[in-house]
Amino acid sequence: MTAQDVLDLSAAQTARTIADRGASAADVVTASLARVAANAALNAFVTVASEADVRVAADVAPQGILHGVPVAVKDNIATTTLSTSCGSRILAGWVSPYEATAVSKLRAAGAVIIGKTNMDEFAMGSSTENSAFGPTRNPLDHSRVPGGSSGGSAAAVASGACRIAYGSETGGSVRQPAAFCGIVGVKPTYGRVSRFGLVAFASSLDHIGVFGRSVDDAAVGLQVIAGHDPQDATAVDVPVGDYRAAAGRPLTGLVVGVPTEYYPASLDAKIRAKCDRAIDVLRQLGAEIRTVSLPHTDLAIPVYYILAPAEASSNLARFDGVRYGPRAAADDLSDMYERTRSEGFGPEVTRRIILGTYVLSQGHYDAYYLKAMLVRERITQDFANVFASGVHVLFTPTTPSPAFTFGARSDPLDMYLSDIFTATANLAGVPAMSQPIGLVDGMPVGGQLLAAHFREADMFCAAYALEHALGPEALA
Amino acid sequence: MAVSDADVLHVAALARLAMPADRVPALVRELNGILDHMAVLETVDVTSVGDDARTAMPRRDDIVGSVPLARPLAQFAPSPRDGFLLVPRLSTHSQLGATEGDE
């Protein structure tokens, strides 16, 4: 078996093959870099590790569950060996003095980081068109976006460069690109994975998430990084389940809720048909299907686009030319701050800082920020009510459309509405994942599974079964 | 509650962002479009939720001030006087014409 062949095995099989001396870890990661180079037109990576560095890393990699497995990491997750630019001019070339806990756990499990992936600047976007380093292209159709903001990680997995990649989620930035690129994307429970070393966008909504070529790749990828971390005060000390143990488990007794608000009359009929088919499959596999209601779903986008920019306006204050960022020439300190920030931030980041500062300002705080905080509690309570009623997982479409073409969502509000089915999980902090359920007009669409806090195993149980039952039909 | 040019310029100053005049009209239009979409929140009854959210957040005035030091100036040196910091006399001071008794 050649190293290129090994790249097409699952992550767990790759690690086993290397452990059994069926391939060398150094050759596998070198083959991965060759695929990155062959797909350079995608612009999936901001920085690619050198062949010499990955071969050395592979040679000394611990024999863990990801021994010798190449992985890609989004460019807002801190690494000491490669720069962390967040897709922004203001951090171009910046190398973190410390490493994210998730990255340290990956290295301890034997994974080899092949590069840092492209993203919308500071994770603000749904298409990866907002990167200072140029847009990333969808591997399945280069005229279309890969989704965002973690579009580079999604493209890396979908193009076959690696089986697992990491991204970040604030409103759907892993699940939406996973749906657009025909792969699996998982956002864990808020607090399940340490955010130490994740550059903050909106701290009450930010998560680290994982992309996998398959459900099993995503399960392994999450297994490795999940767990408590004393360096992140929001990481919760709850035991981590065995996500892969859900593979092959029967769905008998599993109650799947289908929330009516995620299937509006305006939903694309072809996407609805793919969802209906997936729901039928879950029923045939033994799950009980129950229609449920999450009545405040339509408020998620207004709430999200108040809270996230408000938090961003505070978090991004540190990029001022003193603490971070190259310093612009200016006559005095205030002028230096303003020039540095204006020259360093792109249009979408500027727009969101302005919006966030506005909703926090005197005279507007109560009407926007405080109201959004209160409505967020309603949205969270909706999920709590449904899961308390005996529902184990929810099934919805991931996105209202397949991947769109470049420039198709030039109006900011149109772009924000791309997150309509995903932002709720970030607001409520519940785990959610997307997996391919079929093609619409030649492009993949995703089905979304959501579960109660720290019940990722329920989600994976349904996902494994659905993937197995749909088989090649998931991408047909 | 429409956003005006003045609002954008004020908020940009609070956020320490230089705002070219030709960028303002587009931002005003975009922000008004976005905030129109937020208006639906006004209709939601939240009387029974969030007592903590209503009271927990301290507030301050929106003023673009000077850039404060993290510590008072006096903490950087033991002997401030009239806004200056007194430093030990160096031999080079006499070459510059310092008089006897200067600190």
Asked if residue B10 is part of any domain, the answer here is yes
Residue range B11-15: average pLDDT? 96
Asked if residue A374 is part of any domain, the answer here is no
Asked if residue B22 is part of any domain, the answer here is yes
Asked if residue B27 is part of any domain, the answer here is yes
Contact at CB, B17 and A341, closer than 8 angstroms: yes
Instruction: Find the domain containing B26 and state its range.
Output: 5-42
The size of the A-B interface in CB pairs under 8 A is: 111
Task: Kindly tell me the burial class for residue A269, based on how many C-beta atoms sit within 10 Å of its own C-beta (0-12, 13-18, 19 or more).
Answer: exposed
| Nearest by CB: B15 against A302, A353, A364 | A353
Distance CA A459, CA A465 (A): 10
Asked if residue A316 is part of any domain, the answer here is no
- Measure B76 CA to nearest chain A CA, in Å: 19
Residue range A89-101: average pLDDT? 97
pLDDT tens, residue by residue, A138-172 = 999 999 999 999 999 999 999 999 999 999 999 99
- Measure B85 CA to nearest chain A CA, in Å: 21
What single-letter amino acid sits at A245? A
Instruction: Find the domain containing A48 and state its range.
Output: 3-246
Alpha-carbon Rg for chain A, nearest whole angstrom, is 21
Q: Are A456 and A227 in contact (CB under 8 A)?
A: no
Does the pLDDT at position A99 exceed 60?
Answer: yes
pLDDT tens, residue by residue, A464-473 = 999 999 997 7
Task: Kindly tell me the burial class for residue A406, based on how many C-beta atoms sit within 10 Å of its own C-beta (0-12, 13-18, 19 or more).
Answer: middle
Task: Say which residue, A214 or B98, is predicted with more confidence.
Answer: A214
Asked if residue A69 is part of any domain, the answer here is yes
Residue range A73-85: average pLDDT? 98
ipTM above 0.95 for this complex: no
Where residue A47 sits, what CATH number does that domain have? Answer: 3.90.1300.10
Q: Give the strand pairing for A112-117 and A70-74.
A: parallel
Predicted TM-score of the model (pTM): 0.93
Asked if residue B64 is part of any domain, the answer here is no
Asked if residue A407 is part of any domain, the answer here is no
B81 - beta bridge partners? Answer: B84
Question: Residue B85's pLDDT is what?
Answer: 80
Q: Which two tokens stand for residue A79?
A: 């690494």
Question: Residue A3's pLDDT is what?
Answer: 94
pLDDT band for position B68 (cuts 50, 70, 90): low
Asked if residue B34 is part of any domain, the answer here is yes
Asked if residue A291 is part of any domain, the answer here is no
- Quick check: helix, strand or coil at residue A74? strand
| Domains held by chain B: number | 1
| Domains held by chain A: number | 1
Contact at CB, A377 and B54, closer than 8 angstroms: no
With CA atoms as reference, report the closest residue to A8 among A212, A160, A185, A158. Answer: A160
